[in-house]
Structure 1
Amino acid sequence: MGRRKLGFWRRLSVWLVVPTLWILTRRTWRGIENVPAGGGVIITPNHMSQFDPLPVAYYVYRAGRWPRFLAKASIWKIPVIGFLLTRTWQIPVVRGSVEAARSLDTLVDAIHQGAAVIIYPEGTTTRDPDLWPMTGKTGAARLALVTGAPVIPMATWGTQGIHDVRTNKVSLRPRRPISVAAGKPVDLSRWLGHAPSRTVLAQMTEAIQLAGRDLLADLRDEPAPAAFYSLPTRRADGASGTTSETEQPA
Protein backbone atom coordinates (compact mmCIF):
# COMPACT_ATOMS: atom_id res chain seq x y z
CA MET A 1 0.00 0.00 0.00
CA GLY A 2 1.54 3.30 -1.06
CA ARG A 3 2.09 5.78 1.73
CA ARG A 4 0.58 8.55 -0.45
CA LYS A 5 -2.80 6.84 -0.45
CA LEU A 6 -3.35 7.08 3.30
CA GLY A 7 -5.44 10.23 3.32
CA PHE A 8 -5.50 12.90 6.02
CA TRP A 9 -6.88 10.95 9.01
CA ARG A 10 -4.69 7.91 8.60
CA ARG A 11 -1.67 10.14 8.09
CA LEU A 12 -2.61 12.01 11.27
CA SER A 13 -2.77 8.76 13.22
CA VAL A 14 0.72 7.87 11.96
CA TRP A 15 1.99 11.30 13.06
CA LEU A 16 0.52 10.70 16.53
CA VAL A 17 1.62 7.10 17.04
CA VAL A 18 5.12 7.02 15.57
CA PRO A 19 6.70 9.86 17.62
CA THR A 20 5.12 8.39 20.76
CA LEU A 21 6.80 5.06 20.05
CA TRP A 22 10.12 6.73 19.24
CA ILE A 23 10.09 8.46 22.62
CA LEU A 24 8.76 5.66 24.83
CA THR A 25 10.25 2.55 23.23
CA ARG A 26 13.35 0.94 21.82
CA ARG A 27 11.97 -1.56 19.32
CA THR A 28 13.18 -4.89 18.01
CA TRP A 29 11.27 -6.34 15.04
CA ARG A 30 11.50 -10.00 14.06
CA GLY A 31 9.89 -11.83 11.16
CA ILE A 32 8.46 -8.76 9.47
CA GLU A 33 8.94 -10.55 6.14
CA ASN A 34 6.23 -13.02 7.24
CA VAL A 35 3.53 -10.36 6.87
CA PRO A 36 2.24 -10.73 3.28
CA ALA A 37 2.81 -7.67 1.10
CA GLY A 38 -0.75 -7.82 -0.23
CA GLY A 39 -4.06 -9.64 -0.02
CA GLY A 40 -6.36 -10.30 2.88
CA VAL A 41 -4.60 -11.52 6.02
CA ILE A 42 -5.53 -12.17 9.64
CA ILE A 43 -2.93 -11.20 12.27
CA THR A 44 -3.29 -12.61 15.80
CA PRO A 45 -1.12 -10.97 18.49
CA ASN A 46 -1.03 -11.82 22.17
CA HIS A 47 -2.49 -9.13 24.45
CA MET A 48 -0.94 -8.25 27.81
CA SER A 49 -1.07 -4.44 27.97
CA GLN A 50 -3.32 -1.60 26.91
CA PHE A 51 -0.25 -0.23 25.13
CA ASP A 52 -0.01 -3.28 22.83
CA PRO A 53 -1.94 -1.87 19.85
CA LEU A 54 0.58 0.93 19.22
CA PRO A 55 3.69 -1.19 18.54
CA VAL A 56 1.56 -3.80 16.75
CA ALA A 57 0.05 -1.12 14.50
CA TYR A 58 3.47 0.38 13.76
CA TYR A 59 4.94 -3.06 13.02
CA VAL A 60 2.18 -3.84 10.51
CA TYR A 61 2.54 -0.35 9.02
CA ARG A 62 6.28 -0.87 8.62
CA ALA A 63 5.48 -4.13 6.84
CA GLY A 64 3.68 -2.02 4.23
CA ARG A 65 0.13 -2.76 5.37
CA TRP A 66 -2.58 -0.65 6.99
CA PRO A 67 -3.60 -2.23 10.32
CA ARG A 68 -7.35 -2.69 10.87
CA PHE A 69 -8.08 -3.75 14.44
CA LEU A 70 -11.18 -5.55 15.64
CA ALA A 71 -12.10 -3.82 18.93
CA LYS A 72 -14.93 -3.50 21.42
CA ALA A 73 -17.67 -1.19 20.16
CA SER A 74 -17.71 0.63 23.50
CA ILE A 75 -14.40 2.29 22.61
CA TRP A 76 -16.18 4.12 19.80
CA LYS A 77 -18.21 5.96 22.46
CA ILE A 78 -15.10 7.75 23.76
CA PRO A 79 -15.05 11.32 22.41
CA VAL A 80 -12.42 11.97 19.73
CA ILE A 81 -11.07 8.38 19.99
CA GLY A 82 -14.20 6.91 18.42
CA PHE A 83 -14.10 9.47 15.62
CA LEU A 84 -10.46 8.65 14.85
CA LEU A 85 -11.11 4.91 14.93
CA THR A 86 -13.83 5.31 12.35
CA ARG A 87 -11.73 7.57 10.16
CA THR A 88 -8.80 5.13 10.27
CA TRP A 89 -10.97 2.15 9.24
CA GLN A 90 -10.94 0.21 12.52
CA ILE A 91 -13.74 -2.33 13.05
CA PRO A 92 -16.11 -2.32 16.06
CA VAL A 93 -17.71 -5.48 17.39
CA VAL A 94 -20.61 -5.91 19.80
CA ARG A 95 -20.20 -9.25 21.54
CA GLY A 96 -23.06 -11.63 22.17
CA SER A 97 -25.57 -9.94 19.90
CA VAL A 98 -26.97 -9.86 16.39
CA GLU A 99 -24.46 -7.09 15.74
CA ALA A 100 -21.63 -9.59 16.27
CA ALA A 101 -22.77 -11.45 13.15
CA ARG A 102 -22.76 -8.17 11.24
CA SER A 103 -19.23 -7.52 12.48
CA LEU A 104 -18.20 -10.87 11.00
CA ASP A 105 -19.72 -9.83 7.67
CA THR A 106 -17.73 -6.59 7.84
CA LEU A 107 -14.55 -8.55 8.54
CA VAL A 108 -15.22 -10.93 5.65
CA ASP A 109 -15.73 -7.97 3.32
CA ALA A 110 -12.50 -6.37 4.60
CA ILE A 111 -10.53 -9.57 3.98
CA HIS A 112 -11.98 -9.91 0.48
CA GLN A 113 -10.91 -6.31 -0.19
CA GLY A 114 -7.33 -7.21 0.79
CA ALA A 115 -7.21 -5.82 4.34
CA ALA A 116 -4.76 -6.73 7.11
CA VAL A 117 -7.15 -7.47 9.99
CA ILE A 118 -5.78 -7.70 13.53
CA ILE A 119 -7.69 -9.84 16.02
CA TYR A 120 -6.64 -10.47 19.61
CA PRO A 121 -7.75 -14.12 20.02
CA GLU A 122 -8.15 -13.78 23.79
CA GLY A 123 -10.63 -10.94 23.34
CA THR A 124 -9.08 -9.05 26.25
CA THR A 125 -5.74 -8.56 28.01
CA THR A 126 -4.41 -11.76 29.53
CA ARG A 127 -5.13 -12.60 33.15
CA ASP A 128 -2.34 -15.16 33.27
CA PRO A 129 -0.17 -14.16 36.27
CA ASP A 130 2.99 -14.52 34.18
CA LEU A 131 1.50 -12.79 31.11
CA TRP A 132 1.34 -15.86 28.87
CA PRO A 133 -1.56 -16.08 26.38
CA MET A 134 -4.88 -17.38 27.65
CA THR A 135 -7.31 -19.78 26.04
CA GLY A 136 -8.49 -18.11 22.83
CA LYS A 137 -11.92 -17.30 21.53
CA THR A 138 -12.90 -18.53 18.10
CA GLY A 139 -13.38 -15.32 16.09
CA ALA A 140 -10.06 -15.49 14.20
CA ALA A 141 -10.57 -19.18 13.41
CA ARG A 142 -14.10 -18.55 12.17
CA LEU A 143 -12.91 -15.72 9.91
CA ALA A 144 -10.10 -17.89 8.53
CA LEU A 145 -12.52 -20.74 7.84
CA VAL A 146 -14.95 -18.47 5.99
CA THR A 147 -12.37 -16.57 3.94
CA GLY A 148 -9.42 -18.93 3.59
CA ALA A 149 -7.14 -16.00 4.47
CA PRO A 150 -3.75 -16.81 6.00
CA VAL A 151 -3.40 -16.40 9.75
CA ILE A 152 -0.13 -14.79 10.85
CA PRO A 153 0.70 -15.35 14.54
CA MET A 154 2.31 -12.42 16.34
CA ALA A 155 3.92 -11.96 19.75
CA THR A 156 4.76 -8.83 21.71
CA TRP A 157 6.95 -8.55 24.79
CA GLY A 158 7.98 -5.51 26.83
CA THR A 159 4.79 -3.46 26.71
CA GLN A 160 4.08 -4.51 30.29
CA GLY A 161 6.85 -2.10 31.29
CA ILE A 162 4.64 0.78 30.07
CA HIS A 163 1.29 -0.57 31.24
CA ASP A 164 1.09 -3.65 33.45
CA VAL A 165 -2.38 -5.20 33.59
CA ARG A 166 -1.53 -6.99 36.84
CA THR A 167 -1.04 -3.75 38.76
CA ASN A 168 -2.64 -1.28 36.32
CA LYS A 169 0.44 0.89 36.75
CA VAL A 170 1.64 3.12 33.91
CA SER A 171 5.24 4.20 33.36
CA LEU A 172 6.26 6.77 30.76
CA ARG A 173 9.99 6.29 31.21
CA PRO A 174 11.57 6.68 27.74
CA ARG A 175 13.19 4.01 25.61
CA ARG A 176 11.80 0.86 27.14
CA PRO A 177 12.76 -2.21 25.09
CA ILE A 178 9.85 -3.79 23.20
CA SER A 179 10.01 -6.77 20.86
CA VAL A 180 7.44 -7.77 18.24
CA ALA A 181 7.67 -10.92 16.14
CA ALA A 182 5.52 -12.36 13.37
CA GLY A 183 5.61 -16.01 12.42
CA LYS A 184 4.87 -17.92 9.26
CA PRO A 185 1.20 -18.61 8.47
CA VAL A 186 -0.42 -21.12 10.81
CA ASP A 187 -1.08 -24.39 8.99
CA LEU A 188 -4.88 -24.66 9.09
CA SER A 189 -5.19 -26.70 5.90
CA ARG A 190 -6.67 -29.77 7.61
CA TRP A 191 -9.77 -27.78 8.62
CA LEU A 192 -10.41 -25.72 5.48
CA GLY A 193 -13.66 -26.74 3.83
CA HIS A 194 -15.11 -28.08 7.07
CA ALA A 195 -18.29 -26.76 8.65
CA PRO A 196 -17.63 -24.30 11.51
CA SER A 197 -18.51 -26.71 14.32
CA ARG A 198 -17.45 -25.97 17.88
CA THR A 199 -14.88 -28.75 17.70
CA VAL A 200 -13.35 -27.50 14.44
CA LEU A 201 -13.21 -23.90 15.63
CA ALA A 202 -11.72 -24.93 18.97
CA GLN A 203 -9.01 -26.97 17.28
CA MET A 204 -8.17 -24.16 14.87
CA THR A 205 -8.06 -21.65 17.72
CA GLU A 206 -5.70 -23.87 19.69
CA ALA A 207 -3.37 -24.13 16.69
CA ILE A 208 -3.36 -20.34 16.32
CA GLN A 209 -2.70 -19.80 20.03
CA LEU A 210 0.06 -22.42 20.15
CA ALA A 211 1.87 -20.66 17.28
CA GLY A 212 1.63 -17.32 19.07
CA ARG A 213 2.69 -18.84 22.39
CA ASP A 214 5.81 -20.37 20.81
CA LEU A 215 6.74 -17.01 19.29
CA LEU A 216 6.35 -15.37 22.68
CA ALA A 217 8.52 -18.05 24.31
CA ASP A 218 11.26 -17.19 21.81
CA LEU A 219 10.97 -13.49 22.61
CA ARG A 220 11.06 -14.16 26.34
CA ASP A 221 13.80 -16.80 25.96
CA GLU A 222 12.04 -19.10 28.39
CA PRO A 223 9.78 -22.16 28.13
CA ALA A 224 6.05 -21.60 27.82
CA PRO A 225 3.57 -23.30 30.15
CA ALA A 226 2.05 -26.52 28.86
CA ALA A 227 -1.55 -25.34 29.23
CA PHE A 228 -3.32 -22.07 28.53
CA TYR A 229 -4.77 -20.10 31.42
CA SER A 230 -8.58 -19.90 31.29
CA LEU A 231 -10.75 -17.17 32.73
CA PRO A 232 -13.13 -18.27 35.47
CA THR A 233 -16.79 -18.01 34.58
CA ARG A 234 -20.08 -18.26 36.41
CA ARG A 235 -22.47 -21.12 35.86
CA ALA A 236 -26.22 -20.71 35.91
CA ASP A 237 -26.31 -21.71 39.60
CA GLY A 238 -24.00 -18.83 40.43
CA ALA A 239 -21.00 -21.03 41.22
CA SER A 240 -17.60 -20.29 39.76
CA GLY A 241 -16.17 -22.51 37.08
CA THR A 242 -13.51 -22.50 34.42
CA THR A 243 -14.06 -21.46 30.84
CA SER A 244 -12.81 -24.07 28.42
CA GLU A 245 -11.78 -23.31 24.85
CA THR A 246 -14.95 -24.79 23.40
CA GLU A 247 -17.21 -22.95 25.86
CA GLN A 248 -16.06 -19.46 25.02
CA PRO A 249 -18.10 -17.30 22.65
CA ALA A 250 -16.66 -16.42 19.26
Structure 2
Amino acid sequence: MSRPTPASSRRRREPVFRTLEIIARTLVRAQALDLRFTGVDNIPDHESGGAVLTVNHTGYVDFIPAALGVYRAGRRTRFMIKSEVMKIAVMRFLVNHTGTVPVDRSAGAQAYQAAVERLRSGEVVAVYPEATISRSFELKDFKTGAVRMAADAGVPIVPAIVWGAQRQWTKGGTRTMGRSRIPVSVTFGTPFFIAPDADVAAETARLHEVMHRMLLDAQQAYGPHPAGEFWVPARLGGSAPTRDEAAVIEDAEAQRKAEARARKAAEPARGWWRRKLGR
Protein backbone atom coordinates (compact mmCIF):
# COMPACT_ATOMS: atom_id res chain seq x y z
CA MET A 1 0.00 0.00 0.00
CA SER A 2 1.39 3.41 -0.95
CA ARG A 3 1.88 6.03 1.70
CA PRO A 4 -0.13 9.27 1.66
CA THR A 5 1.60 12.00 -0.32
CA PRO A 6 3.04 14.69 1.97
CA ALA A 7 1.22 18.02 1.87
CA SER A 8 4.33 19.81 0.61
CA SER A 9 4.57 17.42 -2.36
CA ARG A 10 0.88 17.86 -3.18
CA ARG A 11 1.35 21.61 -3.17
CA ARG A 12 4.27 21.42 -5.64
CA ARG A 13 2.07 19.63 -8.18
CA GLU A 14 0.45 22.96 -9.07
CA PRO A 15 3.31 25.09 -10.48
CA VAL A 16 1.18 28.19 -11.05
CA PHE A 17 -0.19 28.09 -7.50
CA ARG A 18 3.31 27.44 -6.17
CA THR A 19 4.59 30.50 -8.04
CA LEU A 20 1.82 32.65 -6.57
CA GLU A 21 2.65 31.41 -3.07
CA ILE A 22 6.29 32.42 -3.56
CA ILE A 23 5.23 35.84 -4.88
CA ALA A 24 2.82 36.37 -1.95
CA ARG A 25 5.45 35.52 0.65
CA THR A 26 8.03 37.69 -1.12
CA LEU A 27 5.55 40.58 -1.18
CA VAL A 28 4.87 40.20 2.54
CA ARG A 29 8.59 40.23 3.28
CA ALA A 30 9.15 43.26 1.04
CA GLN A 31 6.37 45.13 2.86
CA ALA A 32 7.70 43.95 6.23
CA LEU A 33 4.14 43.10 7.23
CA ASP A 34 3.76 41.91 10.79
CA LEU A 35 1.54 38.88 10.14
CA ARG A 36 0.02 37.34 13.24
CA PHE A 37 -1.79 34.00 12.97
CA THR A 38 -4.08 32.47 15.57
CA GLY A 39 -5.94 29.16 15.36
CA VAL A 40 -4.13 27.71 12.33
CA ASP A 41 -4.66 24.27 13.83
CA ASN A 42 -8.42 24.76 13.33
CA ILE A 43 -7.94 24.26 9.59
CA PRO A 44 -8.65 20.60 8.72
CA ASP A 45 -5.72 18.65 7.33
CA HIS A 46 -5.79 16.84 3.98
CA GLU A 47 -6.95 13.60 5.53
CA SER A 48 -9.92 15.37 7.14
CA GLY A 49 -11.15 16.64 3.77
CA GLY A 50 -12.67 19.91 2.62
CA ALA A 51 -13.87 22.98 4.47
CA VAL A 52 -15.63 26.26 3.78
CA LEU A 53 -13.45 29.14 4.93
CA THR A 54 -15.59 32.22 5.62
CA VAL A 55 -13.59 35.47 5.68
CA ASN A 56 -14.62 39.03 6.52
CA HIS A 57 -13.95 41.49 3.70
CA THR A 58 -12.34 44.83 4.52
CA GLY A 59 -9.95 45.46 1.63
CA TYR A 60 -8.57 44.46 -1.75
CA VAL A 61 -5.65 42.39 -0.43
CA ASP A 62 -7.10 40.71 2.66
CA PHE A 63 -7.14 37.41 0.75
CA ILE A 64 -3.33 37.23 0.90
CA PRO A 65 -2.93 36.90 4.70
CA ALA A 66 -5.93 34.55 4.83
CA ALA A 67 -4.40 32.30 2.16
CA LEU A 68 -0.98 32.39 3.83
CA GLY A 69 -2.58 31.25 7.07
CA VAL A 70 -4.15 28.29 5.27
CA TYR A 71 -0.77 27.64 3.65
CA ARG A 72 0.76 27.34 7.11
CA ALA A 73 -1.64 24.48 7.75
CA GLY A 74 -0.35 22.71 4.64
CA ARG A 75 -3.44 23.52 2.58
CA ARG A 76 -4.32 25.67 -0.42
CA THR A 77 -7.26 28.02 -0.68
CA ARG A 78 -9.70 28.05 -3.61
CA PHE A 79 -11.32 31.46 -3.53
CA MET A 80 -14.68 32.34 -5.00
CA ILE A 81 -14.29 35.61 -6.93
CA LYS A 82 -16.29 37.83 -9.26
CA SER A 83 -16.39 36.49 -12.82
CA GLU A 84 -15.56 39.97 -14.17
CA VAL A 85 -11.86 39.17 -13.67
CA MET A 86 -12.13 36.58 -16.45
CA LYS A 87 -12.17 39.45 -18.95
CA ILE A 88 -8.48 40.07 -18.14
CA ALA A 89 -6.20 37.57 -19.89
CA VAL A 90 -3.67 37.15 -17.08
CA MET A 91 -6.43 36.77 -14.48
CA ARG A 92 -8.22 34.25 -16.68
CA PHE A 93 -4.99 32.23 -16.84
CA LEU A 94 -4.55 32.36 -13.06
CA VAL A 95 -8.16 31.40 -12.37
CA ASN A 96 -7.94 28.43 -14.73
CA HIS A 97 -4.71 27.18 -13.15
CA THR A 98 -5.39 27.67 -9.45
CA GLY A 99 -8.82 26.11 -8.93
CA THR A 100 -10.36 29.52 -8.28
CA VAL A 101 -14.15 29.59 -8.67
CA PRO A 102 -15.42 32.56 -10.74
CA VAL A 103 -18.91 33.69 -9.74
CA ASP A 104 -21.25 35.12 -12.35
CA ARG A 105 -24.06 36.69 -10.34
CA SER A 106 -26.46 36.22 -13.23
CA ALA A 107 -25.74 32.47 -13.24
CA GLY A 108 -24.70 31.70 -9.69
CA ALA A 109 -25.93 28.09 -9.66
CA GLN A 110 -23.03 26.94 -11.84
CA ALA A 111 -20.40 28.51 -9.55
CA TYR A 112 -22.18 27.15 -6.49
CA GLN A 113 -22.11 23.61 -7.87
CA ALA A 114 -18.42 23.94 -8.82
CA ALA A 115 -17.62 25.04 -5.26
CA VAL A 116 -19.56 22.13 -3.75
CA GLU A 117 -17.70 19.69 -6.01
CA ARG A 118 -14.36 21.12 -4.89
CA LEU A 119 -15.41 20.78 -1.26
CA ARG A 120 -16.45 17.17 -1.76
CA SER A 121 -13.09 16.47 -3.38
CA GLY A 122 -11.35 17.68 -0.22
CA GLU A 123 -10.51 21.30 -1.06
CA VAL A 124 -10.65 24.39 1.17
CA VAL A 125 -12.98 26.88 -0.53
CA ALA A 126 -12.90 30.47 0.71
CA VAL A 127 -16.06 32.57 0.69
CA TYR A 128 -16.68 36.21 1.54
CA PRO A 129 -20.19 35.93 3.03
CA GLU A 130 -20.54 39.73 2.88
CA ALA A 131 -20.01 39.47 -0.92
CA THR A 132 -18.39 42.93 -1.11
CA ILE A 133 -15.90 45.01 0.85
CA SER A 134 -17.33 46.56 4.00
CA ARG A 135 -16.62 50.30 3.95
CA SER A 136 -17.50 50.52 7.66
CA PHE A 137 -15.17 47.60 8.50
CA GLU A 138 -18.04 46.17 10.52
CA LEU A 139 -19.62 42.94 9.32
CA LYS A 140 -22.25 43.51 6.66
CA ASP A 141 -25.27 41.22 6.34
CA PHE A 142 -24.27 37.73 5.17
CA LYS A 143 -25.39 35.86 2.08
CA THR A 144 -26.50 32.27 2.72
CA GLY A 145 -24.21 30.59 0.17
CA ALA A 146 -21.46 29.56 2.61
CA VAL A 147 -23.90 27.80 4.93
CA ARG A 148 -25.74 26.10 2.07
CA MET A 149 -22.60 24.74 0.41
CA ALA A 150 -21.17 23.48 3.71
CA ALA A 151 -24.42 21.60 4.37
CA ASP A 152 -24.60 20.22 0.81
CA ALA A 153 -20.97 19.09 0.78
CA GLY A 154 -21.00 17.74 4.34
CA VAL A 155 -17.91 19.74 5.35
CA PRO A 156 -17.29 22.14 8.25
CA ILE A 157 -17.23 25.92 8.18
CA VAL A 158 -14.04 27.51 9.47
CA PRO A 159 -14.76 31.17 10.34
CA ALA A 160 -11.84 33.55 9.81
CA ILE A 161 -11.21 37.20 10.65
CA VAL A 162 -8.53 39.29 8.98
CA TRP A 163 -7.83 42.62 10.67
CA GLY A 164 -5.38 45.31 9.59
CA ALA A 165 -5.24 44.54 5.86
CA GLN A 166 -7.64 47.43 5.22
CA ARG A 167 -4.75 49.74 6.12
CA GLN A 168 -2.99 48.64 2.93
CA TRP A 169 -5.70 49.09 0.32
CA THR A 170 -9.42 49.53 0.66
CA LYS A 171 -12.32 51.55 -0.70
CA GLY A 172 -12.02 55.21 0.19
CA GLY A 173 -8.69 54.75 1.97
CA THR A 174 -5.05 55.61 1.39
CA ARG A 175 -3.15 52.92 -0.49
CA THR A 176 -0.05 51.77 1.40
CA MET A 177 1.56 48.87 -0.44
CA GLY A 178 5.20 49.73 0.28
CA ARG A 179 7.43 48.75 3.18
CA SER A 180 4.91 49.69 5.81
CA ARG A 181 5.45 47.23 8.67
CA ILE A 182 1.67 47.19 9.13
CA PRO A 183 0.46 44.56 11.61
CA VAL A 184 -2.17 42.22 10.14
CA SER A 185 -3.86 39.58 12.27
CA VAL A 186 -5.58 36.44 10.98
CA THR A 187 -7.75 34.40 13.32
CA PHE A 188 -9.20 31.01 12.42
CA GLY A 189 -12.11 29.98 14.59
CA THR A 190 -13.37 26.58 15.70
CA PRO A 191 -14.84 24.56 12.80
CA PHE A 192 -18.50 23.61 12.98
CA PHE A 193 -20.82 21.55 10.78
CA ILE A 194 -24.20 22.49 9.33
CA ALA A 195 -26.87 19.79 9.41
CA PRO A 196 -28.31 18.93 5.96
CA ASP A 197 -31.82 19.87 7.13
CA ALA A 198 -30.77 22.96 9.08
CA ASP A 199 -32.56 26.30 8.88
CA VAL A 200 -30.24 28.15 6.48
CA ALA A 201 -31.24 31.62 7.66
CA ALA A 202 -30.76 30.69 11.32
CA GLU A 203 -27.38 29.08 10.66
CA THR A 204 -26.26 32.11 8.65
CA ALA A 205 -27.23 34.33 11.58
CA ARG A 206 -25.23 32.03 13.88
CA LEU A 207 -22.20 32.30 11.61
CA HIS A 208 -22.53 36.09 11.62
CA GLU A 209 -22.66 36.15 15.42
CA VAL A 210 -19.61 33.88 15.70
CA MET A 211 -17.60 36.06 13.33
CA HIS A 212 -18.80 39.24 15.05
CA ARG A 213 -17.43 37.99 18.38
CA MET A 214 -14.19 36.99 16.67
CA LEU A 215 -13.92 40.45 15.09
CA LEU A 216 -14.33 42.17 18.46
CA ASP A 217 -11.67 39.90 19.99
CA ALA A 218 -9.29 40.53 17.07
CA GLN A 219 -9.73 44.29 17.39
CA GLN A 220 -9.14 44.20 21.14
CA ALA A 221 -5.93 42.16 20.70
CA TYR A 222 -4.69 44.23 17.75
CA GLY A 223 -3.50 47.26 19.67
CA PRO A 224 -4.18 51.00 19.39
CA HIS A 225 -6.81 52.24 16.94
CA PRO A 226 -5.91 55.93 16.51
CA ALA A 227 -8.87 58.31 16.52
CA GLY A 228 -9.79 59.71 13.13
CA GLU A 229 -7.88 57.15 11.06
CA PHE A 230 -9.64 56.01 7.87
CA TRP A 231 -9.10 52.32 8.67
CA VAL A 232 -10.63 52.52 12.13
CA PRO A 233 -14.40 51.87 12.50
CA ALA A 234 -16.54 54.76 13.71
CA ARG A 235 -17.41 52.62 16.74
CA LEU A 236 -13.75 52.81 17.79
CA GLY A 237 -13.36 56.51 17.06
CA GLY A 238 -12.19 56.27 13.47
CA SER A 239 -13.31 58.20 10.40
CA ALA A 240 -14.72 55.16 8.58
CA PRO A 241 -18.42 55.52 7.80
CA THR A 242 -20.95 53.83 10.05
CA ARG A 243 -22.86 50.87 8.67
CA ASP A 244 -25.79 53.11 7.78
CA GLU A 245 -23.56 55.70 6.13
CA ALA A 246 -21.74 52.98 4.22
CA ALA A 247 -25.06 51.59 2.98
CA VAL A 248 -25.94 54.98 1.46
CA ILE A 249 -22.57 55.17 -0.29
CA GLU A 250 -22.89 51.59 -1.58
CA ASP A 251 -26.42 52.15 -2.86
CA ALA A 252 -25.28 55.20 -4.82
CA GLU A 253 -22.30 53.27 -6.17
CA ALA A 254 -24.53 50.37 -7.23
CA GLN A 255 -26.84 52.80 -9.01
CA ARG A 256 -23.92 54.33 -10.94
CA LYS A 257 -22.69 50.89 -11.96
CA ALA A 258 -26.16 49.85 -13.09
CA GLU A 259 -26.46 52.99 -15.20
CA ALA A 260 -23.02 52.39 -16.72
CA ARG A 261 -23.95 48.79 -17.60
CA ALA A 262 -27.18 50.00 -19.19
CA ARG A 263 -25.32 52.57 -21.28
CA LYS A 264 -22.78 49.98 -22.38
CA ALA A 265 -25.51 47.48 -23.29
CA ALA A 266 -27.27 50.12 -25.37
CA GLU A 267 -24.17 51.12 -27.35
CA PRO A 268 -24.15 48.18 -29.83
CA ALA A 269 -27.84 48.75 -30.58
CA ARG A 270 -27.26 52.44 -31.27
CA GLY A 271 -24.30 51.58 -33.49
CA TRP A 272 -26.40 49.08 -35.47
CA TRP A 273 -29.09 51.67 -36.12
CA ARG A 274 -26.51 54.23 -37.21
CA ARG A 275 -25.07 51.76 -39.72
CA LYS A 276 -28.55 50.81 -40.89
CA LEU A 277 -29.44 54.44 -41.50
CA GLY A 278 -26.12 55.20 -43.11
CA ARG A 279 -25.02 57.61 -40.41
Q: What TM-score comes out, normalization by structure 1 length?
A: 0.81
Say if 2:83 is the partner of 1:73: yes
8 Å CA contact retained: 1:186, 1:211: no
The unaligned stretches of length 5 or more in structure 2 are 1-5, 222-232, 236-241, 256-279
Say if 2:126 is the partner of 1:123: no
- Cα distance in 1 between the residues matched to 2:144 and 2:112: 12
More strand by share: 1
Equivalent residue number for residue 14 of structure 1: 21
Equivalent residue number for residue 52 of structure 1: 62
Equivalent residue number for residue 181 of structure 1: 187
Alpha-carbon spacing, 1:216–1:31, altered in 2? closer, same or farther (3 Å): same
Equivalent residue number for residue 110 of structure 2: 102
8 Å CA contact retained: 2:36, 2:185: yes
For residues 160-179 of structure 1, the aligned pairs below 5 Å read: 160-165=166-171, 167-174=172-179, 175-179=181-185
Identity %: 29
More helix by share: 2
SS in 1 for 2:89: coil
Amino acid at match of 1:215: M
- Cα distance in 1 between the residues matched to 2:94 and 2:196: 37
Say if 2:53 is the partner of 1:43: yes
- What is the CA distance between 1:145 and its match in structure 2? 2.0
Equivalent residue number for residue 204 of structure 1: 203
Q: Report how many residues are paired.
A: 220
- What is the CA distance between 1:74 and its match in structure 2? 0.6
- Cα distance in 2 between the residues matched to 1:201 and 1:78: 35
SS in 1 for 2:99: coil
Equivalent residue number for residue 149 of structure 2: 143
Per-residue CA deviations over 1:156-214 (Å, capped at 9, x if unaligned) read 1111110132x2421124221100000001464xxx1327xxxx222111111211121
8 Å CA contact retained: 2:167, 2:173: no
The higher radius of gyration belongs to: 2
Per-residue CA deviations over 1:18-59 (Å, capped at 9, x if unaligned) read 110122211110010111112010000100000101111111
SS in 2 for 1:171: coil
SS in 1 for 2:20: helix
Amino acid at match of 1:169: T
- What is the CA distance between 1:8 and its match in structure 2? 1.5
Say if 2:140 is the partner of 1:134: yes
Instruction: Kindly indicate whether structure 1 or structure 2 has the higher relative contact order, using CA contacts under 8 Å at least 6 residues apart.
Output: 1
- What is the CA distance between 1:153 and its match in structure 2? 0.5
